[in-house]
Chain A
C-alpha cells in the first residue's frame, strides 16, 4: 500500500477547518488543521506535510508570510493559497512568493480535491524523477568503481 500523504490546513474559520479536514480524510489523506500561523509553524516543525492549504488572512499573520516561511523551512511542501479576498494584488503576491496554486473562496470542493490531487501527483513525479536520477547516478558510479 502506498504511503498516505499528510496535509496541513491553516484557516481561522472552524467550520472550514472541520469540513475540509473531513473531506480530505475521506480522500485518504492524513489531515491536521490549525487556526493560526504560529500553530502551523509549530506543527510543521514536528511533522512532515506534503501539502499545506493556507488561508490568506490569519489572526496572527498574513498567509503569504507563512508561505514564505514554509518555502524556506520545507521547500518541497506544496502550498495552495485559499482566499476570500480575490484581487489581482493578492494573486501577484502569492505567485511572487511561489505559491503552487491559488484558490478563491467559496471553492468547489471537487476542484479543491482535484487541485490537491494533481499538485501531489506533480510532487510525486518530481520526487520519482529525482530518485531515478539518483539511482542512475549511483549505478553509473558503481560501474565506474567496479571497472
Chain B
C-alpha cells in the first residue's frame, strides 16, 4: 500500500473514530442529561396539575366556610326556618358554584337539611345513598369539635369520587359554640377533569388507586409513587412524556393517580442540537482531514513520492552520476543529502572497482597471452641465434626460417583470437538450416587428408540464428576435433532435431579428455593443447549464449570426444534481422568465472 493511501487511511480512521466516539458520548451522556431535564420539567408540570386540584378543593373550602360562619346558617340549624332554604338553597346556588351536594348536620349527627344536584342534567336529585352512608360511617367528616376544626379533600365513594369540605357552623363572627357541620361537595367526574385539563393546558387522565382495571403504566406509577414522593415522570414513547401525581384523600390515604401528558419538546430539542453538533463536528473533521492531507501532501508526501520515484529511476538506470533533487531544510532534505552522498561514494567505489577489475583482467590476459607467445618467441629466438652464429647448411637454415614463419603466423592467431574474444557479440538473426551452417563451418577449417569427414546434417528444421557466428561456433568444435586426431581418424558432424530443440554433434576418434577437464570447458585460457589459449571453446560458448543455446561434452580418453551444441527452437522471440545485444559474458565476467572455478594452469 502506498504511503499516501496509508496516511489518508490513518487520518481518516482517526477522524471517523472521533466522530463515532463523540456521537456515542452525546447519545449517552448528553441525551441522559436532556432526559433528566425533561423529567424535571414534567415533574414540575405534574405538580402544577396537583396544585390546581388542591386549589379547587381550597376554593370549595372557602365557599363552604362562607356559608358555615354566618348568623343565618347558625340560626337555621336551631330553628330550621324555611325562609333560609328558599333564599339560599335554590338550584341557582348549585349551578353557579358547580356544587353537587350540600348537607347541614347538627352537633348530634342529625341531618338538618340535604340537597343534591345533577349539574349535567340540571335538576335536583336525591342525595346518593353511598354518600350518606360514608359520611355517617366516618364521624371525622361531620363532627366539628371546635371553631377551627374542619376537613377538606378528596373523598372516594364506592362508585364515585368527590371533593368535599366540612366546616363548623358558627356565627358570622366565627364564634361558637359549634352548632354542627356544613358539608359541601363537588363530584370529581370527567367534566371536572376536562375543566382541570383546560385550565392546565395538559391532557389529563385520572384513575383511582383501587381501580380493578388500572392500566399498566398506572400500575407501575402506583408501585413507584408514595406519600413521600408523590410525583414522578417518565417517557411514554418517542414524543410524549407522562407525569404521574399521587393524590391522597381526606384520611391521608392514597386515593387517586392523575396522569398529565406532555410533548417531549426538551428531548426533541436536545436530539436536534446533538444532531446539529455531530453534523458540524463531521464537517469540521472532513475539513481537518482535508487540511492535514493537503499540508502533508505539500510538505511530506509529494516530496517523498518524488524522492522514491527518483530513487526508482536511479535503480533502473545504470548511470551512477545522477543525483536526487535536494530542496528545503528538514529530515527529507537530509535523507536526500544522505542518499546523494551515498551515491557519490558508490560512484567513486564503482569507478575504483571497475578500474581495478580492468587492470586485473588486463594483467591476467597479459600474463596468459604473454605465456602463450613464449613458445613461438622461443622458436624464433632459437632460430635467430642459430642463423646468427656460425656458418650453417642451407637445408638447416631453410628449416629454421620455416619455423620462424610458422611461429609468426601462430603469434598472429593468438593476437587475433584475443581481439575477437574481447569484442562484443551482436548476432544478426536470419533464417538458415543446419546443413548450411555445417557446410560453412567445414569449409572454414583446414581438414587434413588423414581425417575422414561424415556430414550427417539435414536441411530441416529451419532455425533462426546468425549464420556467420553460428558457423564459427561449430567451426571451433570441428577445429578442436581435427586437432585431437593428429594421426587421422573420423570426424562426424550431425544435426538431430529433438522435440523443441536442435542438437549439433561434433565427434572425433581422437585422444579424448579426462572427466575433470569437462567442467572447465568453455572457460577461456583452458586448453589441453600445446598451442592455443583455450579461446576457441570460450568463443563458441559466448556465441551459443547469445543464441540461447549451450554446450555439452562427452569423452572417453583414448577413444574420442563428442561436443554437443543444443539450440532451443521455441520460445525465442527474435526479430529477424534485428541486432540482438549480447546477453553477454563480457571478458571480465568470464575471467572472474574462471578464477572462481580455479581453472589455473601449472
Contacts and interface: CB of A to CB of B under 8 A. Distances in A.
Interface stretch (A44-52, A69-77, A105-113, A119-127): A105-113
B8 interface: no
Contact of A109 (B386, B396, B407, B410): B386
Nearest to A93: B602
Contact of B379 (A16, A62, A108): A16
A56 B602 contact: yes
B385 A16 contact: no
B199 interface: no
Given A12-B530, A15-B403, A106 B378 contact: yes
A22 B399 CA distance: 9
B378 A107 contact: yes
Given A23-B385, A105-B375, A59 B390 contact: no
Contact of B374 (A23, A35, A62, A105): A105
A106 B374 contact: yes
Contacts, number: 73
B371 interface: yes
A22 B386 contact: yes
A44 to B, nearest CB: 21
Contacts of A23: 382, 385-386
Contacts of B382: 16, 19-20, 22-23, 109
A12 B528 CA distance: 11
B83 to A, nearest CB: 165
B383 interface: yes
A26 B403 contact: no
Interface string A1-42: 000000000001111101110110010000000010000000
A85 interface: yes
B602 A62 contact: yes
A13 B530 contact: yes
Contact of A18 (B399, B530, B531, B602): B399
A88 to B, nearest CB: 13
Nearest to A87: B602
A13 B529 CA distance: 9
A85 B371 contact: yes
B180 interface: no
Contacts of B403: 15, 18-19
A63 B413 CA distance: 27
Given A85-B371, A105-B375, A57 B385 contact: no
A90 interface: yes
Interface residues of A, number: 25
B601 interface: yes
A12 B372 CA distance: 13
B399 to A, nearest CB: 7
Interface in B338-397: 371, 374-379, 381-383, 385-386, 390, 392, 396
B400 A15 contact: no
Contacts of A62: 602
Identify the interface centre among A14, A15, A56, A109: most chain B CB within 10 Å of its CB: A15
B385 A109 contact: yes
A14 B407 CA distance: 10
Contacts of B377: 106
A16 B375 contact: yes
Contact of A59 (B392, B396, B400, B530): B530
Contacts of B399: 18, 22
A106 B396 contact: no
A57 B602 contact: yes
A85 B600 CA distance: 11
Contacts of A108: 381, 385
Interface in A78-98: 84-85, 90
A18 to B, nearest CB: 5
Contact of B601 (A18, A57, A105): A57
A81 to B, nearest CB: 12
Contacts of B379: 13, 15-16, 18-19
A117 to B, nearest CB: 14
A42 to B, nearest CB: 16
A59 B531 CA distance: 11
A54 B410 CA distance: 22
B406 interface: yes
Contact of B396 (A14, A26, A35, A57): A26
A127 to B, nearest CB: 28
A14 to B, nearest CB: 8
Interface string B184-202: 0000000000000000000
A13 B382 CA distance: 13
Interface string A114-140: 000000000000000000000000000
Nearest to A63: B602
B192 to A, nearest CB: 134
A104 to B, nearest CB: 9
Identify the interface centre among A14, A23, A84, A85: most chain B CB within 10 Å of its CB: A84
Contact of A15 (B375, B392, B602): B375
A15 B376 contact: yes
A22 B385 CA distance: 11
Nearest to B384: A109
A127 B371 CA distance: 38
Nearest to B367: A85
Given A59-B530, A105-B375, A19 B383 contact: yes
A34 to B, nearest CB: 13
B385 A110 contact: yes
Contacts of A107: 378, 381
A4 to B, nearest CB: 17
Given A23-B386, A59-B529, 7 more contacts: A14-B530, A15-B376, A18-B379, A19-B400, A19-B403, A22-B382, A106-B374
15 contacts: A15-B379, A19-B378, A19-B386, A19-B403, A22-B399, A22-B400, A23-B382, A23-B385, A23-B386, A26-B396, A59-B528, A85-B602, A105-B374, A106-B374, A106-B381
Interface of A: 12-16, 18-20, 22-23, 26, 35, 56-57, 59, 62, 84-85, 90, 105-110
